[in-house]
Amino acid sequence: MPELRKERLDRGVKVRSDSIYALSSMKEILYLLGPGLVLILLLLVLPLVVSPYWQRVMAITGVYALLSISFGFLANYVGLVSLGGAFYVGVGGYLSGLLNAAGVPLILSIPIATLLGAVICTLLLLPCLPLRGVYFAIISFIYPLFAGRLIAATGYFGGTDGIPGLDRFPSIWVALYMAIFILLIVLYGLSRMVNYEDVGLVFRGVKDNELAIKASALNLTWYKVQAVFISSAMGTFAGAYLAHLYGWVGMSLFAIDFSILPVAATVVGGSGTLYGPLLGALILVPASESMRAFGTLRIVFYAVLLVFFVVFWTEGILDFLKRKYEQFEHWVRI
């Protein structure tokens, strides 16, 4: 029996677009832009065709996608693994809820809660920024737990009951397209920043090597602060958005789901880019929604999937698809 080996060759257009050659045809441009265009079109058109229930699921998916990108950005490009997504969500949600309950209209309370919330989160995380790796992960994991328990214990901000009766979005269309546009803007802005701006290189440097950043006369803490601010702003927006989607804020905004799902999405989608976490969220959230009938068994399924991806299929779905898209594969005899 002849032995076979899988040979992989990059497609010509991939080779050329990686270096500095010009593209030669419309077809090649389409080839490169295709995946992005498909994503944008899908996000814009899908709400028009699905049922109201799935429109709501889409909105929530958007929120999780935002959180996943926030996690992926901080973990892949700055090297801070923050398991505290729920903290951002909670802070943003409660801020927006408190503002709204005090009479600030939704159109103002969301942006104010996003920015102010990000400032608050960044300030609170500031003392932990020197911590590395696992320790930052642990402490950021503790923050939302702490905040949730503190609200329950003190009874401030409505205690265990939360703050009900907040303004809702005028219609699901407004809510949904708001989520989608914010998502697209964030994606575009962030990927430009990490790939084409010099500050993106500094962030990568922070991840790769903190000492070299210090030796390059760059204030390490200041760049970490910037990155945490950007990332937490996405989270606080997600929280403020959810507050008005549900018309209610409560301790569940600090729930562990908001911290764990972004991690799962990044693991499943693939790390290394911003699109991996996005893809992961787009797959996981609807999948989890359609398994609602199974009760907590769905979490078991999740957990097993997570372990499978993190242990056995570390490249994630995105890299797999990318390889299929960019390379020819065929078996050759050796």
Partner 1 sequence: MDLIIYGIVNSITLILMSIGFALAYGVSRVPNFAHGALFILAGYLTWVFRYRVDLPYWLSIILALIIVGLVGIALYQFILIRVRGMPISEIIASFGVGLAILEFLRWSGLRGTAHMLPPFISGTVRIFDVPLDYQRIIVIFGGIGILLFLWAFTTFTKTGLSLKAIAQNERAGLVLGIDADRAATVAVSLGAVFAGVAAVILLPLGNIVVEMGYEVLVFAIAVSVCGGLGSWKGAVLASFLIGFAQTITVSFVAPHYHFVMALFIIIIVLIFKPSGLFGRQKELEERV
Partner 2 sequence: MSDDIILKVENVSKSFGGVKAVDNISFTLRRGEVLGIIGPNGSGKTTIINLITGFVEKDSGKVYYKGEDISEWQPHKIADVGLARTFQAMRPYPTLPAYKNIIPPLYSPRARRSARGKLGDRSAVAIDLLEEVGFERDARVPYKLAGALPLGYLKRLELCRCLALMPEMIICDEVFSGLSMSEIVSMVPLMEKLQRDGITLIMVEHRLRELFKIAKKAIVLNFGEKIAEGSPDEIFNDPKVKEAYFGGEDSYVFK
Q: Which of residues 288-317 bind partner 2 (CB under 8 A)?
A: none
Residue 306 touches which of partner 2, partner 1, none (Cβ within 5-8 Å per kind): partner 1
Position of tokens 């801020």? 95
Q: Does 202 bind partner 2 (CB under 8 A)?
A: yes
Q: Does 201 bind partner 2 (CB under 8 A)?
A: yes
Q: Which is nearer to partner 1, 142 or 283 (CB)?
A: 142
Instruction: Check if the beta carbon of residue 180 is closer than 8 Å to that of residue 171.
Output: no
Q: Does 149 bind partner 1 (CB under 8 A)?
A: yes
Q: Does 132 bind partner 1 (CB under 8 A)?
A: yes
> Which residue in 92, 111, 242 sits closest to 166, CA to CA?
242
What are the backbone angles phi and psi of residue 248, rounded to the nearest 5°?
-160, 140
Residue 184 touches which of partner 2, partner 1, none (Cβ within 5-8 Å per kind): none
Q: Which is nearer to partner 2, 150 or 218 (CB)?
A: 218
Q: Cβ 295 to partner 1, closest distance in Å?
A: 6
β 4-10/327-333 pair status: antiparallel
Q: Which is nearer to partner 2, 76 or 82 (CB)?
A: 76
| Other CB atoms within 10 Å distance of the CB of residue 219 | 10
Distance, in Å, from the CA atom of 68 to the CA atom of 266, rounded to the nearest integer, reads 7
Q: Which is nearer to partner 2, 95 or 202 (CB)?
A: 202
Stretch that binds partner 1, among 53-61, 64-72, 142-150, 195-203 (CB under 8 A): 142-150
* Helix or strand (DSSP H, E) at 249: strand 248-249
Q: Which of residues 213-232 bind partner 2 (CB under 8 A)?
A: 213-220
Distance, in Å, from the CA atom of 37 to the CA atom of 32, rounded to the nearest integer, reads 10
* Collapsed DSSP state (helix, strand, coil) of residue 5: strand
Query: Which of 58, 81, 251, 285 is close enough to bind partner 1 by CB under 8 A?
Result: 81
Q: Which is nearer to partner 2, 76 or 259 (CB)?
A: 76
Distance, in Å, from the CA atom of 112 to the CA atom of 118, rounded to the nearest integer, reads 10
Q: Does 3 bind partner 2 (CB under 8 A)?
A: no
Applying CB under 8 A, the site for partner 2 has a residue count of 18
Q: Does 199 bind partner 2 (CB under 8 A)?
A: yes
Q: Give CA torsion, residues 257, 231, 197, 14, to 10 deg.
A: 10
